[in-house]
């Protein structure tokens, strides 16, 4: 995607752990189950070895569920009415994951300009370029043993 400026695809880069993000996440009330569930789900996505180590200790015969987890697309979609905290949760849950998994986490919030100007196929092209950029950034962190890099 040579004609796309990567800087235009993302608002900024957020890195975790971050005490400000932790305070913002703590202020999200009434969605404790959603926060905990999302944090655990993201922990599995960023540290694929975590469930294997847990299963080896507690459920050695859990190979079927581990296979299912390994095949799961690394995607989470937040849905809900306007004003329910989706964006705030998305922008802060990385702190909980970073602290629980003891790793550094980087979030790339996509810019509104990634929606494009309305030309046919433009948004698909821009979103694909954004995913490609993040995928390349993640590959630089890849370890052969699939364990997350611990701080």
In a domain, 148, yes or no: no
In a domain, 110, yes or no: yes
* pLDDT 10s digits, 13-70: 999 999 999 999 999 999 999 999 999 999 988 887 888 888 999 988 888 888 888 8
pTM above 0.85, yes or no: no
What residues are paired with 16 via a beta bridge? 105
In a domain, 146, yes or no: no
In a domain, 35, yes or no: yes
Q: How many domains does the chain have?
A: 1
State whether residue 144 is helix, strand or coil: coil
In a domain, 147, yes or no: no
User: Residues 148, 138: contact at Cβ < 8 Å?
Assistant: no
Beta strands in 59-123 (DSSP E): 105-107
In a domain, 91, yes or no: yes
Question: Whole domain around residue 134: which residue ranges?
Answer: 6-139
In a domain, 100, yes or no: yes
Q: What angle do CA 37, 56, 72 make, to 5 degrees?
A: 45
In a domain, 149, yes or no: no
Q: What angle do CA 74, 75, 81 make, to 5 degrees?
A: 160
Q: Quick one: which of 95, 70, 102 has its CA closest to 20?
A: 95
* pLDDT 10s digits, 71-130: 888 788 899 999 999 999 999 999 999 999 998 999 999 888 887 888 888 888 998 999
């Amino acid at each position: 995607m040579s004609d796309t400026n990567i800087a235009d695809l993302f608002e900024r880069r957020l890195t975790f752990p971050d005490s400000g993000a932790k305070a913002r996440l703590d202020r999200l009330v009434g969605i404790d189950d959603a926060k905990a569930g999302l944090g655990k789900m993201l922990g599995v996505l960023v540290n694929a070895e975590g469930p294997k180590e847990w299963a080896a200790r507690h459920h050695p015969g859990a190979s079927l569920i581990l296979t299912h987890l390994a095949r799961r697309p690394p995607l989470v979609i937040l849905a809900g009415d306007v004003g329910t905290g989706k964006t705030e949760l998305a922008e802060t849950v990385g702190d909980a994951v970073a602290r629980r998994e003891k790793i550094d986490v980087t979030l790339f919030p996509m810019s509104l300009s990634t929606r494009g100007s309305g030309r046919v196929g433009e948004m698909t092209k821009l979103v694909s370029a954004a995913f490609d950029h993040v995928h390349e950034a993640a590959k630089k962190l890849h370890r052969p043993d699939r364990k997350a890099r611990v701080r």
